[in-house]
Structures are given as structure tokens and as C-alpha cells.
Amino acid sequence: MSAELDYYELLEVSRGVDDATLKSSYRKLAMKFHPDKNPGCAESEAKFKAISSAYACLSDPQKRAAYDQYGHAAFENGGMGGAGGMGGNPFNDLGDIFESIFGGFGGGGGRGQARRGADLRYDLEISLDEAFHGKSEQIEIDVSVQCEPCDGSGATPGTGTRRCNLCGGHGKVRAQQGFFMVERTCPTCHGRGEVIENPCRSCGGEGRVDQRQTLDVNIPSGVDTGTRIRLTGKGEAGPFGAPAGDLYIFVHVKRHSVFERDGTTLLTRAPITFTKAALGGEIELPGLDGTRHTITIPAGIQSGKQLRQRGAGMPVLQGRGRGDLVVEIQVETPTKLSAKQKELLRELQETETGDECPQSKGFFDRIKTVWEGLTD
């Protein structure tokens, strides 16, 4: 990026801009092009450095007056110490900008800003029947909770805190790293700005202790594998009385011996005899709702044909109605026949004309045509 770019154009302001508008525009651009928001992007890093230099100049009244009269020439050959010298340092504002972007380096935030406790995950396995009907489940988890003796403060009851000497009560410390002024959470007070003089013996000054808890979980009907149930405030307690995180229950539905599931649709494969397939009939299937579902088999049905029973599937989660039950027919060829059965089948075979099975007849007619073509 050329060093001769106009500072006002870089900051996207006019020459008569007031200080508040100048600062606002700079902060917006600094947030947009900061290297931490654009990792590995050399163009953004160069843009960030350029707008920082521009603001360092224009935010200082003396430098701005010189720049307005002479342009970049005012700072050549060491004039006025260069755009980066003599006050007007943009890094005086970077602490606020960084906190706007990241909430403070290290996740500590500013003084008095309590860190929320961590969210937790619990995997719960249920049966397909339980997913159909819904259920109430009790679970046990090991979780940190607010310390009762100190009421989460981390201090021995009756004692208090003092201002942190390292950060002066700000909760943050700054350090120069090359071109940047980096602001981080104070390592002594962890962002609180205060230090506990007499830590609570029960929690060691953390304001929380580990404990096994029993929780009631309501599993609604219609849940599926991957359904997430949120229990607000049942995660890890935050340090020093900060709000607790949330507990997320991830549901896993076990395989069923008869049914497979696709959303609200229940699927099953039903093998039937070839005589039932030829003559038609009925089969009964047990529904997850406890009722019997009668499936009518039309005469002449083929393997792979799917029959649908409306409203016999899974409930709609947090909604009304139910999906369908889909039965895929598999025609089974008998493998064990008595002498009498074989005799009857031979009699049937002798009466066949080929028209009974049009697909078979059509296939072998095509085969015959191919053979005739090869022998010509």
C-alpha cells in the first residue's frame, strides 16, 4: 500500500471532520481490518497499519494542521518526529476496540465483568418406543456448583477483597509488542480487578466446588438422534459467583428390532409367501402406539413394492400429527417343500402359459430374439 495515500481518504472522512467522527470512523475501520479478525491476510494487516498511522497524525491537532498545509511532506526527513510520534497514539484507543471485537484478550473482559460458567454436554440413549411416547428421565452428572459457605464470592465469610496491585484494579495489563500495544487479562486477578485476601477454605477461593447432581430431564415425544435439549443454568458454575453455563442433552435413539426411522416415517420390510403375493391377503403389524395395523396385500404384488399406512409413523416433534408407516414387501421363495406341495406346484407349472408373469415372459422373449440374431 502506498505511503502517499491521503489520510482523510484512508479514514473515509472529509477534511473538516470533527474529532468524535474521526475517532468513530477510525475505530470502525480498525475493527474491520485488525489482523486478529483477518488472520494471514497481509492486505488487511497493511491496511490496519496505514489507518493507524493516519489516525495518529489526524488525532493530534499540531500534526493535523501541518498535514493540512504540507501533506506528507510535513513529516519527511524527521519533520515533527514522523506521523507515529508526539502523542496522538492510536493505541490509546485500542483497548476499547479490542474489547469491542473480542471481549478483551484471553476472554477475561474488563473489570467486574464476570465470566460465565462453561456449558456441559450429556449423551442420553433412549429406545424408539421412548422416542415415540416421550418420557421423564433422571440423570446424574458431576458438575461444579456455587460454593455455599462463601456464597460464590471465593472469600472467607466476613472478609473482603483488595485492589489488584498489578493492574491497579483495571483487570487488564498492557504490553508493547513491536508495532502493537497488546492488552491482556491480568494474570493476578484474572480480570476482576480485585484480589481475595482470605480465600474460602471450602472452595479454595474459586467460589465453586465439584458436586454430583441429580437432574430431571423431560424428553418430548418425537425426538430423534441428534435432538438437543437445553437445561439453562445447569452447566458449570461461573467463578466468583458468575452465572452458570447451560447443560445440553444430546439424544441418541437405539436401533429397533422391527422398524427403521426416517424423520417421522417408520419403515419395515415384510417377507411374505409367494402364494400370498399371488393371491393377495392381509398382514398385521404392531404399531409403536400399541395398536394393530392391518396392511392389505394386493394380488400379484412384487418384491420391493412399498405400501403406506397414513398416520402410523412417529409423532411430529413439538407439533401435531404423525408420519406414515411404510412397509416394503419382500416375496420369499419357499426353500422347504413337502412332496404334496411339490406335486401341486408341478400341476400349477403344467398349466402356466407365460401370461401369468408378464415381466418374466417379456424378458425371455427378448433373450430369444438375441439368440436368433446370433444364429442368423
Q: Please give the annotated binding residues for Zn(2+), written as ranges.
A: 147, 150, 164, 167, 186, 189, 200, 203
Q: Which residues are annotated as a binding site?
A: 147, 150, 164, 167, 186, 189, 200, 203
Query: What is the chain's alpha carbon radius of gyration, rounded to the nearest angstrom?
Result: 38
CB of 298 within 8 A of CB of 280?
A: yes
282 CB neighbour count, 10 Å cutoff: 9
303 CB neighbour count, 10 Å cutoff: 15
73 to 14, 58, 64: CA distances (angstroms): 20, 15, 13
From the number of C-beta atoms within 10 Å of its C-beta (0-12, 13-18, 19+), residue 304 rates as exposed
The three-point CA angle 188-192-195 to 5° equals 55
CB of 167 within 8 A of CB of 189?
A: yes
CB of 59 within 8 A of CB of 90?
A: yes
Q: Supply the DSSP symbol for 74.
A: G
3-state secondary structure at position 122: strand
* 120-126 vs 325-332, strand pairing mode: unpaired
Q: Which three cell numbers stand for residue 342?
A: 411339490
Q: Among candidates 21, 35, 92, which has minimal Cα distance to 11? A: 21
Place of cell 477461593: 205
Q: Among candidates 326, 249, 346, 250, which has minimal Cα distance to 285? A: 326
The three-point CA angle 29-80-53 to 5° equals 15
CB of 225 within 8 A of CB of 253?
A: yes
